[in-house]
Amino acid sequence: MSRDAVEVETGPQPTGTVIWLHGLGADGHDFEPIVPELAARAPRALRFVFPHAPLRPVTINNGYVMRAWYDITAIDGRRAEDEPGIRASQAAITQLIEHESARGIAPAHIVLAGFSQGGAMALFTGTRYPQRLAGIMALSCYQVLAARFDAERGAANQSTPVFMAHGTQDPVVPLALGEAAWHQLQAAGYPVEWHTYGMPHSVCPQEVTDIAAWLRRVLT
């Protein structure tokens, strides 16, 4: 454990890092089990960092305290978003990237990934980060503070590969929200791969295979 995160290294002296942000109510252990399958296809030793989001009350879940990157009042974006929470998590994720850089892995060899709320934070932080990343992966998610995107996105990651995926039967984050984020990035000129799978709000085997192939390309 390091900096309130689960860490898994797939070999000695890793030369690339995947920082993977979990979804609402989960924790850093959520995606730990898929590391062996991703590592089997990786061309180099990687470090996977799965941080734990802070504990906070979540309005959409009746105020129950759970791990969340920011508060959610509604999933449809019609109510005010938790901008302070989003900005605070952006700062914490930026510190994780800088921590990896201090350990010898430059941002150009770091992938910022996430699922659901974590995917939203990966998109938000990655497109605003001031140095080029290896890639941004956003699974079953949406764009937060979408109206600020054009004004705030940075030039450093304009050409960074982006992997987006969504389930066609997702009852939690509607497919339309993922498509809207995809179209917004496309319109801004980002090289986005968009994948859909016949699944609910989850990850399926074919998606893991596609993620492994994408990671192999961006971290070679």
Residue tagged 């179209």 (tokens): 183
Residue 174's identity, in one-letter code, is P
Pairing of strands 55-58, 64-67: antiparallel
Q: Is 170 a catalytic residue?
A: yes
Pairing of strands 162-167, 5-9: unpaired
Asked whether the beta carbons of 15 and 45 are under 8 A apart, the reply is yes
Asked whether the beta carbons of 136 and 157 are under 8 A apart, the reply is yes
Residue of 22, 109, 116, 166 marked catalytic = 116
Asked whether the beta carbons of 61 and 157 are under 8 A apart, the reply is no
Cα 86 from Cα 45, distance rounded (Å): 31
Of residues 6, 8, 15, 10, the one with CA closest to residue 219: 15
Q: Is 116 a catalytic residue?
A: yes
DSSP state of 109: G
Q: Is 101 a catalytic residue?
A: no
Cα 81 from Cα 135, distance rounded (Å): 26
Q: At a CB cut-off of 8 Å and minimum separation 6, what does 32 contact? A: 6, 8, 48, 50
Residue of 170, 183, 195, 202 marked catalytic = 170
Residue of 71, 195, 201, 210 marked catalytic = 201
Residues annotated as catalytic are 116, 170, 201
